[in-house]
Amino acid sequence: MKNSALGKNNSLVGEHGLGALAIAALIFFAMGFVTWLNGPLISFVRVAFSLNDFNAFFVPMVFYFSYFLFSLPASIVAKRLGLKRGLSLSILVSALGVAMFGQFVAWRIYGGALTGLLTLGAGLSLMQVVINPLVSLLGPADRAAQRIAVMGISNKIAGILAPIVLATLVMHDLGSVALRAQNTADPVARDAILGSFVHALYAPYLGMAGILVLIAIVVALFPLPNLEAPPLPTSARQQSARVFKPHLIFGFITMFLYVGSEVLAGDAIGTYGLGFGLPLDQTKFFTSLTLTGMLIGYIAGFLAIPRLLPQERYMELSCIAGCLLSILAFITHGYASVLCVALLGVANAMIMPTIFPIAIRGAGAHTALASALLVMSYSGGAVIPQIYVLLKPYFGFQAMFALITLPTYLAIMLYARRYGRVGILPMENK
């Protein structure tokens, strides 16, 4: 069993064993479930609160902006509380945000619902600051992407299930509710229709909050290692003088662009499908298509890295595939174009798992700060989809999509080529 792919002494999890990896996978499942509800929620709030595209996209904007707002404070909290207590607190704050969202939606107070998403994002910011470096450092650097791929599989299984569960329990009659509300002239009658519709969200969200509390208890009771990224082979003076190294700075920019494009392919795919006139009762499931693609991509990455090729080379090939799919999405129409967008999930899957360990490489005692800066870059999911919504009336929704994704994949490819060689970072050892 010494050479077993999942054994205690193997190169995947090292001396820490599978327990910590399994707990991390449970946390990533919970994160995926509450995060990837945003896609169908855009359609939900558009109907429930009678919103246009710009206002409906406040859902991902507020959610992902919270990463920018709370990540640095989260790094301070993580450093003071430590891994276990930091994770437990993050899950409890996330539970509070989920409960707030469900309550304010039931009351039909959109601002309050967005406050719930902001609170959820605060909890997830702390969670990401702690959990991402844990997984990245749980074994050898050249298999970090493979470990994160395991997390991605767990995350995306939850992400596939989340829109289906929401659509089945709450949004099963979304199209008919939207039509009835639109055709009802009496404001009181329209409010009664929408009030009954939104109240169905209340119990599922309270249930999710309760499950998160249980997960927080499990994390509090389980022994987890405290890990830091080993410093690069430079002097102590160089380490203290250069916290913000080029590979971290450009990693922030690259991750910002990537997350924005990932959210476009995942959360905005329903709006993209509506641009072709596809029915609302179909587009509400489209987020699950993208996440199925990401699940396939994570499984492929787990099997291929590092057996067939290194993680950085895999990311370069993923970017090439992303460019080709973006072009195909632009030149095709209807379901074929939507399928190309969904297949971007396959291309996207191994990009974040590769950027993260490259960017925090050599952070040493500053691992929490480096992780927090990268989590701040997730705010690309707030900014880039709004740019898409604002500019698609002028360029067309297909052209605008390609104008965002193509430069993103090219930038990621350049980052991989410049900083992606394991063990060597340009200009760092000179």
Instruction: Tell me if 116 sits within 8 A of 106, measured CB to CB.
Output: no
pLDDT tens string 126-157:
888 778 777 777 766 667 667 777 887 888 88
Both tokens of 146, joined, read 């493979």
Q: How many CB atoms lie within 10 A of CB 369?
A: 21
- Helix, strand, or coil (residue 374): helix
- Helix, strand, or coil (residue 172): coil
Question: How far is it, in rounded angstroms, from Cα 119 to Cα 62?
Answer: 10
- Reduced 3-state DSSP string for 29-61: HHHHHHHCCHHHHHHHHHHHCCCCHHHHCHHHH
Which range, of 34-38, 330-334, 379-383, 424-428, averages the lowest pLDDT?
424-428
Task: Provide φ and ψ at 155, rounded to 5°.
Answer: -60, -45
What is the per-residue pLDDT for 313?
A: 87
Model's pTM, two decimal places? Answer: 0.76
Question: How far is it, in rounded angstroms, from Cα 228 to Cα 12?
Answer: 17
What is the per-residue pLDDT for 169?
A: 77
Question: How far is it, in rounded angstroms, from Cα 338 to Cα 346?
Answer: 14
pLDDT class of 295 with cuts at 50, 70, 90: confident
What is the per-residue pLDDT for 238?
A: 43
What is the per-residue pLDDT for 7?
A: 41
- Helix, strand, or coil (residue 290): helix
Q: Is residue 243 packed enough to be buried (19+ CB in 10 Å), middle (13-18) or exposed (0-12)?
A: middle
What is the per-residue pLDDT for 98?
A: 94
Beta bridge partners, 231, equal 362
Whether 253 shows a pLDDT value over 50: the answer reads yes
Question: How far is it, in rounded angstroms, from Cα 430 to Cα 425?
Answer: 10
Give me the CATH topology for the region 14-224+235-419: Growth Hormone; Chain: A; (1.20.1250)
The greatest distance separating any two alpha carbons of the chain, rounded to the nearest whole angstrom, comes to 73
Residue of higher predicted confidence among 149 and 312: 312
DSSP state of 16: G
pLDDT tens string 93-134:
999 999 999 999 888 899 999 999 999 999 998 888 778 777
pLDDT class of 17 with cuts at 50, 70, 90: low
pLDDT tens string 213-242:
999 998 888 876 665 544 444 444 444 445
Residue 205's Cβ-side half-sphere holds a number of Cα atoms within 13 Å equal to: 25
